[in-house]
Amino acid sequence: MTSAEIMFRQKRTTPAGIAAQIKSGDVCCCTSALGEPEAIMNALADRAIAGELTGVQHHMLLPCRKWRYLEPDMAGKITFVSWFTSANARKAVKEGRADFMPNFYYEVPRFWRELVKPDVFYAMVSPMDKHGYFSFGVGASEGRAQMCRAAKIFLEVNPRMPRVLGDNFVHISEVDALCESSNALPTLPDAPLGEKDLKIGAYVAERISDGATIQLGIGSIPNAVGKNLVDKKDLGIHSEMFTDSMVDLIECGAVTNRKKNIDIGKSVASFAVGSQRMYDFLDDNPGILFAPVSYVNDPRVISQNNDMISINACLQLDLVGQVCSESVGPTNISGTGGQLDFVRGANWSKGGHTFICTYSTAKDDTMSSIVPTLAPGAHVSTPKGDVDCIVTEYGIASLKGKTASQRAKALIEIAHPKFREELTQAAKKMNLMI
């Protein structure tokens, strides 16, 4: 028996055994998205419901399961602090039962190293290898930074978690206790593609040249862009999120990563949520490199790839190009995430471009997504000075180097026809039409 195997046996316990080591008032954290340890979190909720815990904070990005800690009866027992809000957590945030941490994604590891002191770090990981290492799997974003100041480190070992390669490992010697589980990872079905998605995807794909490096966000519009890239050559991937459309692009040969300036031959990302097919593709794949967001999302790193293309979505934008991607009025529904990280990185890249995409209308075509001014209290995700190209199903508005009046005119041209006159009159009242 190796020393790693001996340590594994010595540190192995149950989920309840780990939850018993967490105290009232502890600040707890885990890796993004699928990194939450399901069995440990359920055991922690059991203790809270039994009245054994109060004032525990649980920090994480993008919860992908319907957790009990988000329920109203957890108030005062476990408080969720959202670093990027998912659909599962929106109600708790809106009702004030959960808190929200504003951030740029690439800075999240620095927050944990310098600003927020955790008592407990826990994560779901892949099985230990013969050298004593566990992979954080599909959640490399910030785990190493969270670990460096945590007083206690707990792991939940799950054979369903793929062993994803890169700067993405923790050694058994660093761990205080571990447990085992075998729950399936949540999957995210492909969003169905509508006519608007396909039009937007085609517009963007026309602007992407062979040899470009791409970042795709989540949702139907980025998926539509991916569908339109299958005939490209020598594309590269450098993206905070790895998506199912990227599997398709790699398998069809459109992505080779040969033309990248850094991490040549590797598809680079920080986390993944998608299909079981994608998880299987990522497992032990030497063509994949997952690394913390302090590297992947750093605009200075992103910009080192020539022809860097960033593709993201938004909810609303105004006539000078201010973009809101994360709130409805003042109500947070997601987060800034890595949008601005990649907008700036692609803007600084030689030959790079950024595309922020949206349908021209919202609420069953009853309101325009392009508005004279953002809704009161709306969070500005990408400032007007950073915006390059805005895309709707009516075309692309290139805003870089344009005056305020030129921007307003270009945006009105890609607004839904039934709102163009209304927007034109509003622009005139705001002295944006000369």
Q: What is the pLDDT of residues 355-370, one digit of tens each?
A: 999 999 999 999 999 9
CA dist 385 → 85, 235, 306, 322, 431 (Å):
26, 28, 21, 8, 19
The architecture (CATH level 2) of 193-428 comes to 3-Layer(aba) Sandwich (3.40)
Tell me the pLDDT tens digit for each residue of 410-432: 999 999 999 999 999 999 999 99
What percent of the chain stands above pLDDT 90?
Answer: 89
What is the spatial distance between Cα 203 and Cα 207, in angstroms, rounded to a whole number? 7
Whole-number pLDDT of residue 56: 98
The full set of domain ranges for the chain reads 1-178, 193-428
Whole-number pLDDT of residue 238: 99
Determine which helix (DSSP H) or strand (DSSP E) holds 158, and give its type and residue range: none
Token pair listed for 295: 């590297």
Whole-number pLDDT of residue 286: 98
Segment 72-92 mean pLDDT: 90
Whole-number pLDDT of residue 189: 83
Asked if residues 51 and 26 have their Cβ atoms less than 8 Å apart, the reply is no
The architecture (CATH level 2) of 1-178 comes to 3-Layer(aba) Sandwich (3.40)
Whole-number pLDDT of residue 65: 85
Tell me the pLDDT tens digit for each residue of 237-250: 999 999 999 999 99
Tell me the pLDDT tens digit for each residue of 377-393: 999 999 999 999 999 99
Asked if residues 394 and 413 have their Cβ atoms less than 8 Å apart, the reply is yes
What is the spatial distance between Cα 385 and Cα 91, in angstroms, rounded to a whole number? 33
Task: Residue 387: name the closest of 351, 426, 423, 354 by CA.
Answer: 354
Segment 20-33 mean pLDDT: 96
Active site residue 240: yes
**Selected catalytic residue, list 240, 251, 393, 421:** 240
What is the spatial distance between Cα 178 and Cα 17, in angstroms, rounded to a whole number? 9
Segment 51-77 mean pLDDT: 92
Whole-number pLDDT of residue 64: 86
Look-up: residue for tokens 């319907």?
66
The string over 331-342, giving b where at least 16 C-beta atoms fall within 10 Å of a residue's C-beta and e elsewhere, is ebbbbbbbbbbb
Whole-number pLDDT of residue 87: 84
CA dist 57 → 21, 123, 151 (Å):
15, 15, 15
What is the spatial distance between Cα 86 and Cα 218, in angstroms, rounded to a whole number? 12
Tell me the pLDDT tens digit for each residue of 173-220: 999 999 999 999 999 887 789 999 999 999 999 999 999 999 998 789
